[in-house]
Amino acid sequence: MTYLRKSWYALPNLLRFVVRRLFVGALLCLGITFVSFALTQVVPGDPVSANLGDRAASDPEIVAAFRARYGLDQPIPQQYALYLERLVHGDLGESQQTHRPVTTDLSQYLPATIELASAAMILALVIGISLGVLAAIARDRWPDQIIRVISLAGVSVPTFWLALVTFYVFFFKLGIAPGVGRLNPGGKAPPSITNMFTIDALLAGQWATFGIALSHIVLPAAVLAIYTIGSITRFTRAAMLESLSQDYVRAARAKGLPTRTVILRHALRPALAAIVTVAGMAFGRMLSGTVLVESVFSWPGIGQYAYKSALALDLRAIMGVSLVVAVIYILVNMAVDLIYAFIDPRIRLG
């Protein structure tokens, strides 16, 4: 035990931090599997009727075969133990609605959601930080007032309503936005490498396909980013106002440094810690909360997959989605902490 303790403290701070967070993350994932499994057992409804229909569910032989195939005829503790045993080997079970392994379904739907959420996050960061900095510089003047109204509207407008309105206006009325889906009807997907069409098209050198995929992602990504733009704008403004009131910023201005240098290097960098926190939580929320946007724009992502799984009481798929979302949240939070250390060297990871 003493040797292990000495070996542990001999590791670099960063490595110790990553190992500890991964260990805690594994425990959290175990807890997520237990909670999601327990919830699937107490929700009203019968997965047999939801998947087979009333007519087939009235046949005892069909019901018995269905329960035996998906392990629903076993005691609940044994079902959970069997799920954990398979999970250790990377097996999330078989989906009752698609009759395919859940890992196969997630590998198909998750990249589409990651692509959409990443595009929305890029838009939110660029626009939100820019508006927040501008509002802080022009504090209490008309640009600040306009930006504060815009940010308040962004966090107040319901996403589902905004998605319907934007799709109706830009597609049906103006005709400047493409239709639903990730590509045009009948369009051929690029060679599958990451299952993200924009990236795969770039890697394959298919510029026409890249342009089509990019045009399809712009509108849903913008809708998904609206709420986050409002949040990042407000947090950036508050963090920048605090930084601009510090003595080191006054000293930089007293030295005659250019305004751009004072804003970007001396004021914005300390404010990035709060911005990174908001961005990290927002990215996780985007990945797990895209179902409304995906439904309006027929985007085949994990949100739609989770929604259909819930309607069908597809227990394995629901647990698989819950586990994947939990893992993403854990990795995003770890990345946020690592970025903290990069932004502010005074923060120690140990």
46, containing H or E segment: none
The reported pLDDT for the residue numbered 127 is 92
- 3-state SS class at 101: strand
Cβ atoms of residues 322 and 32 within 8 Å: yes
**Distance separating alpha carbons of residues 304 and 220, to the nearest angstrom:** 14
The reported pLDDT for the residue numbered 126 is 92
Torsion (CA) 59, 61, 64, 68 in degrees, nearest 10: -140
Low-confidence ranges of the chain (pLDDT < 70): 1-14, 43-59, 62-63, 66-67, 69-73, 341-350
CATH of domain 102-348: 1.10.3720.10
Q: Which of 334, 321, 320, 332 is nearest to 294 (CA)?
A: 321
Phi and psi of 313, rounded to 5°?
50, 45
pTM (2 d.p.) = 0.81
E-state strands within the chain: none
Phi and psi of 94, rounded to 5°?
-110, 135
Q: Is 114 exposed, middle or buried (0-12, 13-18, 19+ CB in 10 A)?
A: buried
The reported pLDDT for the residue numbered 123 is 92
Residues of CATH 1.10.3720.10 domain(s) within the chain? 102-348
The letter for the amino acid at 252 is: A
Token pair, residue 333, equals 């939070």
The reported pLDDT for the residue numbered 167 is 86
Q: Is the dihedral of CA 239, 242, 244, 249 positive or negative?
A: negative
